[in-house]
Amino acid sequence: MDNPQPLSWTARLDQSLSRLRASEGRLSLVLSLVIGALVGLVVVAFILLTGRLAARMYPAGGSGVRRILVPVLGSLGTGYLLARYFPFARGSGIPQTKFALFINDGRILFRTVLGKFFCCSASLASGIALGREGPSVQVGGGLASVVARNLGLTPKQVRALVPAGCAAALAAAFNTPIAAVLFSLEEIMGDLHAEVLGSVVLSSATAWMFLHLVLGDDPLFHVSGYRLVHPSELAVYAALGLVGGLGSVCFVKLLLGLRARFMNLPKWTVWFQPAAGGLAVGLMGYFVPEVLGVGYNQVEKVLNGDIILKTVVLLAVLKIVATAVCYASGNAGGIFGPALFIGAMMGGAVGGLAHTIFPDSTAGPGAYALVGMGTAFAGIVRTPLTSVIMIFEITRDYTIIVPLMISNLIAFFISQKLQPVPIYEALAHQEGVHLPTAESRAQAERIQVRHAMRDVPVVLAPELPVAAALHQIKDGSLDAWPVVDSGVLRGMVRYRELERAAAGGGADRRVADLLEPANQNDHSEGEQTPHVHPDHSLSLALERMGTSGLGVLPVVSRANVRQLIGIVALNDILEAYGVASEASPKELGNP
Amino acid sequence: MIKSSAAPSFLGTFALVFVAMGLLYAVDTVLAGMERAEGAAAAARLYREGLDLMHSGKNSDAMERFGDAIALERGNRDYQRALAQAQLAAGKTSDAEATLAALLESDSTDGFASLLMARVLEKEGKVPQAISYLHRAIYGDWNQDQAANQLRARFELIDLLARRNSKDELLAELMAVQDHIPLDLEMKKGRLYLQAGSAAHAAEVFQRVLQEDPGNLEAQIGVGEAEFAKGNYREANRDFETALRLAPDNADARQQLELSNQVLELDPTIRGLGMTERFRRSLKLVRMAADDATECTGHNPPADLAELLDKAATALKGNYNASRQNEASESNLDLAAQIWQARKRECKSAPPPDLPLALVLAKLAQ
């Protein structure tokens, strides 16, 4: 009897790969580990490179003028690179990652990853007052996306690995593996029960392990043990929650306001806009060097009660302004680190004041700085659970957890009340991106608008006279018609209004004049127009029709709310549900 | 089944990722090494600046430098000890205590940290704990010159015990190091023996010094004090006279000589005294003890003391012939001792330790 010939190693490898690829669960497990390790090593390189660059840009005993020149030149250089080569590598990286995850099938380009890594490293090293954690998240998510796509995985599998990359990045950047998992689920996925939990945990732990392998077992901040001195102290922590909440709202509103102004500037100024941030932080840094960079050494000082009250207040105010200007002007960098800095300073200020007034019944300013970090994080980033765990992990101090929870929740509720749209969502809105909420993603599982929508039969130009518009749409088969200017949706005009204008002697008026006032100028963002996205549920479309009184809604892209994809009419929805329409076509918005 | 065209891409991507991970690990290791080296150099510079500042009394600035050095090189215990030293020098004892507590938590055998902790605790008035930390410093580990540093720590303990007047513990510590004390510290050793109540050891030490250096005034006075403490007032008197010959203007020697003279004039146990003189001195002791007790307790002394004072009055009036003077002397000395005991019991203020009356009565009580 002949023995079967043994397989060569290449054949065995081929078989193993086939088995691995065939088993989705096993592949996910292996990739979570690989991505965790890869992202961990990349983020460690990012941290170390930034540190080494910063040490060279700011040698000991450097002059004050250097503190102005370096951030200006750094932001100019990176500004050019960002505008010319890496347009998706601006800002924090969190909204961009969510955009990729929910709208772009988890697709993040390798070029963006490279741009984020190097531009951000140079930018932060030059003293720009932003953080490294948000960018790390985009780098981590991007690497996961690149690896998964190169392995030929399906978009669904790619989307499942991006949060794992994000968690791995945050675990390595902050040295907080548990908070990284929570953040990935709470903020990136918007769902603590997401199916990707297993791979997120695995990659986070792997990245953390590699961080420790290279950099050792040091927490981000070394803090003396704090405890609650007296139960009445909880009132002071509640006051800190109030201050932290209000401070967070001020910061977010300032940042969004400045960002809107920068975005209104002409497009050709984009490449040197970051220099405004560099100049602002440079001028501040000339007088107060502590404002430059992420400032974690200052955070550690205030955590240990080593900074006086006056300085703490000054640093809190300057950092709010510096970070807002740096971010709004388009520099690459995140707001995690600055949020912690601002929170620590606000906490130090409140604690310093309380300890001066009630020295026997309150802890030192360091304890409040510690709680303040979580408070600002909860107020600005709006992830209360992550912020509690993060502070615990950063400091490895469990004793202050109850005051931290109280303070965090107060800040969170104040922030939610005064700034209803969370910062990352608001930033995405400014870019014309409408990220789906967890609720809308759940709805998307049911019948979606994409199943009932249709192409636009006719679009009206805003400069078109009313009479010509009426002629163009002839029979008035739809209740309302989209007005589009050079491919940009300006709004919806009702057929009835066109008829009324023509009958009232306004046949020569422009169609644009009949639009909602907010949509009449060229710079309007079209957000005032009721609309739906293709992945919205039909029930939401019905709801919006009811609210707006329109029988037809424009279907727009999530990536650009001014980009018209199609329309959906009431009758289309009824047909999708299998309900025959006997009403008049125009009433239903149907031919 | 994997498609044959997809396999190279799948395998290639994995291979590429692993190669990238290997390269990244190498880059990370190099960068981390650079960071550690640069951080250590910067920390060392800050540490040196901090030491200079501390030596010139600028403790707050020194603390800042040491803090920055620690932030750059966390595990360096020298920087942490220096920070604690600066904090202690700046009077920030609670900060110094916290710094040292962290150091000792990670290594409880750290001799220098224990010594600093003892100093901090002594400054905070926590003397028993300070003594405990000094013991740890004596038996702890030191980076360099272990024996010399341990001895230094023991001397700090001895000094502390001497300041507290803890004679037994002081003597025990002195006995433990007596063979290790350098010659230049012999005088200190003698003084400490005196303070610990071991006059014999003290006398030996001072005699040894005088053999080497007969003109040593301090040793000469020390010998006198040791003999005085042993109750050898005559020898002490001779030693003080010798000291005054060496330095006629020495106030200390003169004061000690006067005291020894007073004691010698009062001491009834000196050999060669006649019976009458001994009787006279016993009466003098009764009178002095009664006067001191009356002055201390006022005109309404407690009943037991009042009874003794009545007896004293009777004794002082007594007129004894030569044959009964010996017996009366003994009785008087016993009465003087009883009055002195009652006085010490009833009076709030303790008598000065160098009071001739107290010294003579103490000698009689032995």
Q: A45 and B31: CB-CB below 8 Å? A: yes
A187 touches chain B (CB under 8 A): no
DSSP class of A431:
T
Q: B24 and A41: CB-CB below 8 Å? A: yes
Q: Do residues A448 and A391 share a domain?
A: no
Give how far the C-alpha of residue A165 lies from the chain's centroid of Cα atoms, to the nearest Å.
16
CA distance A324 to chain B (A): 28
Q: Sorting pLDDT into bands at 50, 70 and 90, what band is A88?
A: confident
Which residues are CB-contacts of A258 (< 8 A; sequence separation ≥ 6)? A324, A325, A328, A329
Which residues are CB-contacts of A546 (< 8 A; sequence separation ≥ 6)? none
Q: Above pLDDT 70, what percent of chain A?
A: 93
**CA nearest B6: which of A34, A107, A23, A14?**
A14
Q: Sorting pLDDT into bands at 50, 70 and 90, what band is B5?
A: very low
Query: Tell me, what's the pLDDT at B305?
Result: 83
Of A44, A45, A150, the CB nearest to B13: A150
> Residue B108 corresponds to which tokens in the numbers above?
């409880």
Q: B10 and A22: CB-CB below 8 Å? A: no
CA distance A11 to chain B (A): 11
Q: Is A48 helix (H, G, I), strand (E, B) or coil?
A: helix
Query: Tell me, what's the pLDDT at A570?
Result: 86
CATH superfamily of B190-266: Tetratricopeptide repeat domain (1.25.40.10)
DSSP class of A271:
G
Quick check: is A315 in a domain?
A: yes
> Residue A398 corresponds to which tokens in the numbers above?
């469990």
Whether residue B351 has pLDDT greater than 60: yes
Q: Sorting pLDDT into bands at 50, 70 and 90, what band is A152?
A: confident
Of A38, A48, A300, the CB nearest to B32: A48
Distance set, CA A577 to CA A538, A565, A569, A571, A591 (Å): 9, 22, 13, 10, 18
Alpha-helical regions (H) of A229-334: 233-264, 274-287, 296-303, 309-328
Instruction: Report pLDDT digits (tens) over B62-93.
Output: 999 998 899 888 889 999 999 999 999 999 99
Q: A45 and B28: CB-CB below 8 Å? A: yes
Q: Do residues A348 and A461 share a domain?
A: no
Q: Do residues A394 and A466 share a domain?
A: no
Least confident interval from A289-298, A360-369, A443-452: A443-452
Q: Above pLDDT 70, what percent of chain B?
A: 97
Q: Do residues A358 and A477 share a domain?
A: no
Q: Do residues A187 and A289 share a domain?
A: no
**CA nearest A27: which of A165, A142, A137, A158?**
A158
Contact B187, B209 (CB under 8 A): yes
> Residue B139 corresponds to which tokens in the numbers above?
């038996």
- Taking the C-alpha atoms of residue B23 and residue B327, their distance in angstroms, rounded to an integer, is 106
Place of tokens 């001994």: B278
Contact A139, A118 (CB under 8 A): no
Residue A493 φ/ψ, nearest 5 degrees: -115, 135
Residues of chain B whose beta carbon is less than 8 angstroms from a beta carbon of chain A are 1-2, 6-7, 9-11, 13-14, 16-17, 20-21, 24-25, 27-29, 31-32, 34-35, 38, 42, 45, 67-68, 71, 74, 98, 102
Whether residue A522 has pLDDT greater than 80: no
The mean pLDDT of A350-361, rounded to a whole number, is 91
Quick check: is A65 in a domain?
A: yes
- Taking the C-alpha atoms of residue B180 and residue B115, their distance in angstroms, rounded to an integer, is 19
Question: Rounded to 5, what percent of chain A is helix, strand, coil?
Answer: 65, 5, 30
- Taking the C-alpha atoms of residue A515 and residue B283, their distance in angstroms, rounded to an integer, is 127
CA contacts within 13 A on the Cβ side of A444: 15
> Residue A359 corresponds to which tokens in the numbers above?
């020295």
Instruction: Report pLDDT digits (tens) over A483-508.
Output: 988 888 888 888 888 888 888 888 88
Which positions in chain A touch B38 (Cβ < 8 Å)?
Answer: 52, 55
Give the residue from A12, A20, A41 with the most B CB atoms within 10 Å of its CB, the best one to mutate. A41
Domain that holds residue A61: 18-215
Amino acid identity for residue B338 in this structure:
Q
CA contacts within 13 A on the Cβ side of A27: 22
CA distance B126 to chain A (A): 21
- Taking the C-alpha atoms of residue A423 and residue A142, their distance in angstroms, rounded to an integer, is 21
The mean pLDDT of B177-181, rounded to a whole number, is 73
The mean pLDDT of A126-138, rounded to a whole number, is 93
Mean pLDDT of chain A: 86
Quick check: is A223 in a domain?
A: no
A16 touches chain B (CB under 8 A): no
Contact B86, B71 (CB under 8 A): no
Contact B59, B39 (CB under 8 A): no
Q: Which of A430, A456, A474 is the last residue of a domain?
A: A430
Q: Do residues A314 and A211 share a domain?
A: no
Whether residue A35 has pLDDT greater than 90: yes
Closest-CA residue of chain B to A296: B71
Q: Sorting pLDDT into bands at 50, 70 and 90, what band is A211?
A: very high
Contact A335, A327 (CB under 8 A): yes
Query: Tell me, what's the pLDDT at B6?
Result: 46
Q: Do residues A90 and A141 share a domain?
A: yes
What CATH number did the domain enclosing A378 receive?
A: 1.10.3080.10
Quick check: is A3 in a domain?
A: no
Q: Sorting pLDDT into bands at 50, 70 and 90, what band is A444?
A: low
Whether residue A588 has pLDDT greater than 60: no
The helix (H) or strand (E) run that includes residue A266 is none
Q: B11 and A17: CB-CB below 8 Å? A: yes
Give the DSSP per-residue string, B122-156: HHTT-HHHHHHHHHHHHHSB-SS-HHHHHHHHHHH
- Taking the C-alpha atoms of residue B330 and residue B281, their distance in angstroms, rounded to an integer, is 11
Q: Do residues A313 and A421 share a domain?
A: yes
Quick check: is A228 in a domain?
A: no
What CATH number did the domain enclosing A562 receive?
A: 3.10.580.10
Residue A407 φ/ψ, nearest 5 degrees: -65, -40
Q: Quick count: other Cβ atoms within 10 Å of Cβ B241?
A: 16
> Residue B341 corresponds to which tokens in the numbers above?
């005991």
> Residue A227 corresponds to which tokens in the numbers above?
């405890």
CA contacts within 13 A on the Cβ side of A443: 18
Q: A306 and B67: CB-CB below 8 Å? A: yes
Q: Which residue has the higher pLDDT, A19 or A194?
A: A19
Contact A359, A217 (CB under 8 A): no
- Taking the C-alpha atoms of residue B189 and residue B206, their distance in angstroms, rounded to an integer, is 9
**CA nearest A539: which of A460, A451, A420?**
A451
Give the DSSP per-residue string, A100-127: HHHTSTT---HHHHHHHHHHHHHHHHTT
Contact A585, A473 (CB under 8 A): no
> Residue A557 corresponds to which tokens in the numbers above?
């892209």
Whether residue A209 has pLDDT greater than 70: yes
Beta-bridge partners for A484: A489
CA distance A109 to chain B (A): 16
Query: Tell me, what's the pLDDT at A326?
Result: 95
Place of tokens 């700011």: A58
Whether residue A247 has pLDDT greater than 80: yes
- Taking the C-alpha atoms of residue B200 and residue B192, their distance in angstroms, rounded to an integer, is 12
Which positions in chain B touch A18 (Cβ < 8 Å)?
Answer: 1-2, 7
- Taking the C-alpha atoms of residue B8 and residue B15, their distance in angstroms, rounded to an integer, is 10
Size of interface A-B (CB pairs under 8 A): 73
A25 touches chain B (CB under 8 A): no
Quick check: is A420 in a domain?
A: yes
Whether residue B137 has pLDDT greater than 80: yes
Q: Do residues A207 and A247 share a domain?
A: no
Q: Sorting pLDDT into bands at 50, 70 and 90, what band is A587?
A: very low
- Taking the C-alpha atoms of residue B355 and residue B336, their distance in angstroms, rounded to an integer, is 15
Q: Do residues A466 and A417 share a domain?
A: no
> Per the structure, how many domains does chain A have?
3
Q: Do residues A201 and A268 share a domain?
A: no
Whether residue A191 has pLDDT greater than 80: no
Q: Where are the domains of chain B?
A: 190-266, 275-365
Q: A41 and B42: CB-CB below 8 Å? A: no
Q: Sorting pLDDT into bands at 50, 70 and 90, what band is A282?
A: very high
Whether residue A476 has pLDDT greater than 70: no
Query: Tell me, what's the pLDDT at A518?
Result: 59
Q: B2 and A14: CB-CB below 8 Å? A: yes
Query: Tell me, what's the pLDDT at B341?
Result: 86
Q: Quick count: other Cβ atoms within 10 Å of Cβ A450?
A: 17
- Taking the C-alpha atoms of residue B181 and residue B173, their distance in angstroms, rounded to an integer, is 12
Q: B21 and A52: CB-CB below 8 Å? A: no
Query: Tell me, what's the pLDDT at A79?
Result: 94
Query: Tell me, what's the pLDDT at B90?
Result: 93
Q: Do residues A190 and A71 share a domain?
A: yes
Quick check: is A138 in a domain?
A: yes
Q: B32 and A55: CB-CB below 8 Å? A: no
A22 touches chain B (CB under 8 A): yes
Least confident interval from A36-45, A166-175, A430-439, B98-107: A430-439
- Taking the C-alpha atoms of residue A570 and residue A479, their distance in angstroms, rounded to an integer, is 10
Q: Sorting pLDDT into bands at 50, 70 and 90, what band is B181?
A: confident
Q: Is A393 helix (H, G, I), strand (E, B) or coil?
A: helix
- Taking the C-alpha atoms of residue B203 and residue B205, their distance in angstroms, rounded to an integer, is 5
Of B2, B34, B71, the CB nearest to A300: B71
Q: Which of A404, A430, A456 is the last residue of a domain?
A: A430
A12 touches chain B (CB under 8 A): no
Instruction: Report pLDDT digits (tens) over B244-291.
Output: 999 898 898 898 889 888 888 888 888 788 888 888 888 888 888 888
Quick check: is A10 in a domain?
A: no
The mean pLDDT of A183-211, rounded to a whole number, is 87
A52 touches chain B (CB under 8 A): yes
- Taking the C-alpha atoms of residue A154 and residue A164, their distance in angstroms, rounded to an integer, is 16
Whether residue A582 has pLDDT greater than 60: no
Q: Sorting pLDDT into bands at 50, 70 and 90, what band is A519?
A: low
Whether residue B1 has pLDDT greater than 60: no
